[in-house]
Amino acid sequence: SQQGEEDPQALSIQEGENATMNCSYKTSINNLQWYRQNSGRGLVHLILIRSNEREKHSGRLRVTLDTSKKSSSLLITASRAADTASYFCATGNTGGFKTIFGAGTRLFVKA
Amino acid sequence: NAGVTQTPKFQVLKTGQSMTLQCAQDMNHNSMYWYRQDPGMGLRLIYYSASEGTTDKGEVPNGYNVSRLNKREFSLRLESAAPSQTSVYFCASRIAGIDEQYFGPGTRLTVT
């Protein structure tokens, strides 16, 4: 069963706009990660936020985590056509080796 | 430094045939993983190897076997392929204590 569920499933925006993707999960976590997958490629790690953090930034990426609501959001500011990809949230548990991935959000940025 | 490599990139099998997907990493990572990705399903864990010499089942292990040949290599075997195993297979690795995973480019498998 999937741990993380992304919302929306697909998102289409204009270049320069902000893109927000949400992720909900079911069980307690140690950390939550976001990955990007370009078409036909493997996943690339973007950012990790730990359960004791509420917000984290990396370049144009901003991630928030609300453990009370078991949810996270990924904001991409000033999007570019090159940001077109699928984005996945993934959750990790304390002391565990498994990472559980959601079904992903497909982002299309129109130039 | 090639990262995580997978062979082959594409494969077509007939039902009942067997094959082994190969994965190697040159980053001295301890843990390695095999996932399958199906449309709308995200990635599902098939098997993983926390460290050299150990392997464990993931979410969808039926129909697959794995071998952690050494620290670098982790192979996935389909003994008798079925159409339900048509998927894209990804290998990943990570270093002990760090949750970030590094992915290979994937193997696109079709079983007819």
A interface with B, Cβ–Cβ below 8 Å: 1-2, 4, 9, 30-31, 33, 40-45, 48, 88, 92, 97-104
Residue B103 · residue B90 · CB < 8 Å: yes
Between the two ends of chain B, the Cα-to-Cα distance in Å is: 36
Query: For the residues A76-94, what does the mean pLDDT come to?
Result: 93
Residue of B nearest to A10 (CA): B40
Chain centroid, CA A14 distance in Å: 19
pLDDT at A1 over 60: no
* pLDDT of residue B5 exceeding 90: yes
Answer yes or no: is pLDDT of B57 > 60.
yes
| Residue written as token pair 């045939």 | B17
State how far the Cα of B74 lies from the Cα of B88, in Å rounded to an integer.
17
Q: Does B74 touch chain A (CB under 8 A)?
A: no
Name the band, by pLDDT with cuts 50, 70 and 90, for residue A98.
confident
> In angstroms, rounded to a whole number, what is the distance separating the alpha carbons of residues A111 and B23?
37
